[in-house]
Amino acid sequence: MAEGFTLFLLSGMLMCGLLLHTVSRHGASVAERRKKPNFIIILADDIGWGDLDANQHEKKINNTPYLNLMAERGQRLTDFHSPASTCSPSRAAILTGRYGLRNGVTHNFAVGSVAGLPLSEVTLPQLLQKEGYYTAMIGKWHLGHNGPYGPTNRGFDYYLGIPYSNDMGCTDTPGYNWPPCPPCDSSGPQVIRLKRSVHGGCYSKVGLPLIENSSIVQQPLDLWTLTEQYKSCCNQDYTQCKVQYRQPYLLYIALAHMHVPLAPPLPPDDGKVYTASLREMDSLVGAVKSASDDTDKDNTLIWFTGDNGPWEQKCQYAGSVGPFMGKWQTSRGGGSAKRTTWEGGHRVPAVAYWPGRIPANSTSSALLSGMDIFPTLLSLAGVTPPSDRRYDGIDATDILLHGEQTGHEFLFHPNSGAAGRFGDLQSVRSGKHKAFYITGAAEACGGATGRPQLHDPPLIFDLECDESEETPLKTETPEYQAAAQRIARRREKLLWDIATDKSVSAADYSTDASAAPCCEPGQAACRCHTLG
């Protein structure tokens, strides 16, 4: 990816926001609004905890120099967890600060999903937008693409990106995937099939669309020039923006990296595709950082993290879980990363960078979650979230800025497909202990899977001395007894809290062929003839 685009985009965004909102929505003076910090959230897809060099410095690898630099000038969060182990639930929880059992999003939306994140949910961009922030999103949304569910109707002033994962549609020049996927049909009648084709699990009938605001601008998009597409779209929109002063902004960048198909700039030899893609991602993050440094350095928080752990079944195209190998599970068959509640499924790299505010070269092992982004950013912006609902994230401001070390006392990891009912909170973290009421595996490289298994009494691991979750504590030990009681009490309390929460939303997961984004329904793969 070209680095120039981000620079351009960022400065363009700053300018465009101003033009659009020169008149304050809430009467706050320009000077007052100017004091509010800018936020850049960068969310990588399927990245592993071990993919960040700084998390494994003993290995002396150098794939993420820009992120390492951000960590050196900011803070690395080593016990940070994605709110779920798959895409849509994780993103929904980040944007609402609530578990999937409350916001309704417990599994992924599909190409033909008619709905998305329930409209009763309030999003982070919505709240910041109301306070005068200019809000833009670049990248993967995956919270519903139809009508009112799209990003520009959920709080973003501007959107450019893909409506769901980059493997959920065909392209003409496929990227690296395992198994490899065929290119789109170039001609022939369009038949929208919502199921993956039987050959290798590829989505082959509806081209992968590129969306700007709420319109398809390219279908199928070109994975290899996705960045160039971003650049030219931004060019058209932003060069006309002429501004005199700034408005605070939220920029949410949901990268296609590191999700398959990978499409790194130079075709490297096969064994290095993942690394090449990781480096490309890192340089993109570096470009965002330097653009931000050049514009409003002291007033911009950049928070980098991931949406869930590596997709192990993709073999050489999957990331690294580092030491979080989920050995209890892998020794019984199956994978222990994405889709599972083993550490590899949800412990993700996280770096927070804010020169002058976040102490340089600091590390925090406070127990944190992607759900904390919501209350933290609102707190930094001086915004109080609506009090008609319950939240699960905590305000991590003191951890980021003031060296406070206490994070969540308890953190629940929802089932994302490997263990029982979607969204169920059957794995619980409390201090160094992690309890499993149910275990399950994802598909491993090579196809091995494992069956969900109930545990009564629960399995409890001590992550401090057993980070690979290999040997559970013996149930008769006082340590086990104390942890089991503490966790059971808290779990009941949370389940009761959710059961009595009047603000719980239900997502509509129904699908219909007519809901698939389709540029020209008469064309093979919905191909846009006039635009593409």
Ligand X SMILES: *[C@@H]1O[C@H](CO)[C@@H](O)[C@H](O)[C@H]1NC(C)=O
Could you give the residue numbers annotated as active site? 87, 142
Angle 201-206-207 from CA coordinates, rounded to 5°: 100
**Candidates 171-179, 182-190, 210-218, 288-296; binding stretch for ligand X (CB under 6 A):** 210-218
Distance between CA 478 and CA 476 in Å, rounded? 7
* Nearest distance from C-beta of residue 437 to ligand X, angstroms: 38
> Which of residues 8, 39, 66, 158 is near ligand X by CB under 6 A?
158
Closer residue to ligand X (CB): 79 or 212: 212
Give how far Cα 52 sits from Cα of 66, 70, 226, 348, Å.
10, 11, 24, 9
* Nearest distance from C-beta of residue 165 to ligand X, angstroms: 22
> Which of residues 51, 212, 312, 424 is near ligand X by CB under 6 A?
212
Neighbours of 356 (CB within 10 A): 10
> Which of residues 3, 72, 296, 501 is near ligand X by CB under 6 A?
72
First CA to last CA across the chain, in angstroms? Answer: 20
Closer residue to ligand X (CB): 359 or 420: 359
Contact status: 11 vs ligand X (CB under 6 A) = no
* Nearest distance from C-beta of residue 526 to ligand X, angstroms: 18
For residue 163, which of 526, 442, 523, 443 has the smallest C-alpha distance? 526
**DSSP classification of residue 152:** G
* Nearest distance from C-beta of residue 215 to ligand X, angstroms: 5
- In this structure, is the dihedral angle defined by the CA atoms of residues 356, 361, 364 and 368, taken in order, positive or negative? positive
* Nearest distance from C-beta of residue 427 to ligand X, angstroms: 31
Query: What are residue 211's DSSP bridge partners?
Result: 161, 216
Amino acid found at 82: S
Distance between CA 440 and CA 463 in Å, rounded? 18
* Nearest distance from C-beta of residue 477 to ligand X, angstroms: 34
> Which of residues 215, 275, 295, 453 is near ligand X by CB under 6 A?
215
**Candidates 27-35, 212-220, 326-334, 508-516; binding stretch for ligand X (CB under 6 A):** 212-220
- Where are the extended beta strands (E) located within 142-185? 158-161
Closer residue to ligand X (CB): 157 or 424: 157
The arrangement of strands across the sheet holding 249-254 comes to 215-218, 210-212, 158-161, 134-139, 249-254, 38-44, 300-306, 351-353, 75-77, 362-364
Closer residue to ligand X (CB): 228 or 512: 228
Distance between CA 47 and CA 70 in Å, rounded? 17
> Which of residues 131, 222, 237, 398 is near ligand X by CB under 6 A?
237
Contact status: 361 vs ligand X (CB under 6 A) = yes
> Which of residues 56, 190, 197, 213 is near ligand X by CB under 6 A?
213
Place of tokens 């000077």: 31
Contact status: 514 vs ligand X (CB under 6 A) = no
**Candidates 196-204, 209-217, 327-335, 420-428; binding stretch for ligand X (CB under 6 A):** 209-217
Which parts of this chain interact with ligand X (CB under 6 A)?
A: 72, 157-158, 212-213, 215, 237, 361
